[in-house]
């Protein structure tokens, strides 16, 4: 896979999973979907990001059937959008720790090159939405993060798929002490990824309900 495409895939909010969960926080951080480096990502902010993707998907298709298909393909959008929001912060921290900066001009140059490949701005926006779940208004932000990732990999003498790169992200992740609202799972600092929470009580309740209805 092309290095730039692989980087985008790794660093974007993945788009495969269930509908947005109810907006309720945990006891330690009420109203927060996550706390990263002491800063809250609120449930409202997460919902807003999810709505950006849904709005862009709705605008990109011509009929209800196509939109329904797009929604079905991005079922766990809330969880995976949160994963992307946290991962972005982790990557930015790792880049900062390495003394890496990205200028607006670099972002513009990268975008211009990608637009040329995609046949124009609209082609690029459509491709990023369909492939990576990035709405048009977040495209420059995503490109900046990709440049940070590429520069960090270069600084480390590796690439974005190698252990040295992810070890740097793991170190940043641990430093930021990521804490997710349990409704969205847990954050594994070693893997630098959101993981589903183990909730045996859900299975117990489901089993009890099944016994009562049989």
Residues in Cβ contact with 10 at an 8 Å cutoff, skipping those fewer than 6 apart: 149, 160, 161
Q: Helix H segments across the chain?
A: 3-11, 43-60, 64-73, 77-97, 104-118, 121-132, 139-156, 163-176, 200-213
User: Of the segments 16-25, 39-48, 196-205, which one has the largest average pLDDT value?
Assistant: 39-48
What is the predicted pLDDT for the residue at 93? 97
How distant is the alpha carbon of residue 123 from its chain centre?
22
Range(s) of the domain holding residue 8? 3-213
What is the predicted pLDDT for the residue at 16? 32
DSSP 8-state secondary structure symbol assigned to residue 127: H
Q: Which residue has the higher pLDDT, 79 or 210?
A: 79
- Weakest mean pLDDT among 25-34, 134-143, 184-193, 203-212: 203-212
CATH of the domain at 130: 1.10.4030
User: Of the segments 24-38, 101-115, 129-143, 190-204, which one has the largest average pLDDT value?
Assistant: 101-115
When divided into structural domains, the chain yields a total of 1
Predicted confidence (pLDDT) per residue in 61-108, tens digit? 877 887 787 777 666 889 989 999 999 999 999 999 999 999 999 999
pTM: 0.76
What is the predicted pLDDT for the residue at 15? 32
Asked if residues 206 and 104 have their Cβ atoms less than 8 Å apart, the reply is no
Nearest C-alpha neighbor of 60 from the set 138, 123, 142, 132: 123
């Amino acid at each position: 896979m092309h290095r730039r495409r692989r980087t985008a895939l790794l660093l974007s909010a993945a788009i495969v999973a269930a509908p947005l969960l109810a907006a309720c926080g945990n006891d330690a951080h009420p109203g927060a979907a996550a706390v990263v480096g002491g800063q809250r990502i609120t449930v409202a902010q997460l919902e807003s990001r999810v709505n950006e993707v849904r709005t862009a998907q709705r605008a990109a298709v011509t009929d209800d059937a196509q939109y329904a298909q797009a929604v079905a393909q991005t079922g766990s959008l809330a969880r995976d959008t949160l994963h992307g929001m946290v991962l972005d912060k982790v990557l930015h921290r790792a880049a900062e720790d390495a003394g890496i900066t990205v200028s607006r001009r670099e972002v513009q140059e990268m975008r211009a090159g990608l637009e040329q490949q995609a046949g124009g701005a609209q082609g690029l926006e459509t491709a990023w939405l369909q492939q990576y779940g990035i709405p048009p208004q977040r495209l420059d932000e995503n490109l900046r993060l990709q440049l940070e990732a590429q520069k960090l990999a270069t600084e480390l003498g590796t690439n974005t798929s190698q252990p040295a790169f992810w070890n740097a992200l793991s170190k940043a992740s641990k430093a930021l002490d990521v804490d997710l609202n349990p409704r969205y799972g847990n954050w594994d600092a070693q893997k630098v990824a959101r993981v589903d929470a183990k909730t045996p009580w859900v299975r117990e309740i489901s089993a009890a309900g099944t016994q009562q209805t049989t």
